[in-house]
Amino acid sequence: MLPLDVANELRRKGHNVLRASEVGQARADDGQILQKTITENRILVTLDEHFGDWVILPLKKHPGVIRLKVNPTTCNNIIKLLIPFLNSYSSEQLKDNLVILSPKREKWVRTS
């Protein structure tokens, strides 16, 4: 869901990024994408608000989900929000947490 420019900038900053479209999951449903992140022990970063709705997609044990709330959703705005956040927390801290991240707020929800 994130633009290629965002993925490339994250890679330049040393993050191991894999976009759903790069592995044939461009049209996969949320559950399939989440399962892939669990299987590969990857943190999921999304703009999709359904990842914050447990009725639609129940979250249990996972490496972490970051739901971005950025308006407008330009590459620059996403990068300015996401990179400092990722640099501030370890993957272990994100495990089993849904983080709803906006320019003014971080909301952490423990999911397990």
**What is the residue whose two structure tokens read 């947490």?**
97
Q: Do 15 and 43 meet the contact criterion of CB atoms below 8 Å apart?
A: no
Residue span of the structural domain in which 38 resides = 4-110
Number of domains forming the structure of the chain: 1
Q: Do 78 and 46 meet the contact criterion of CB atoms below 8 Å apart?
A: no
Question: What is the DSSP code string of 24-88?
Answer: T-TT--HHHHHHHHHHTT--EEE--GGGG-TTTS---S-S-EEEE--SS--HHHHHHHHHHHHHH
Mean pLDDT in the chain? 87
37 half-sphere exposure, CB direction, 13 A CA radius: 28
pLDDT of residue 17: 93
Out of 4-13, 16-25, 77-86, which region has the weakest mean confidence (pLDDT)?
Answer: 16-25
pLDDT tens by residue, 24-45: 766 777 778 888 888 999 999 9
Q: Do 44 and 66 meet the contact criterion of CB atoms below 8 Å apart?
A: yes
Q: Which amino acid is at 105?
A: R
pLDDT over 70 at 55, yes or no: no
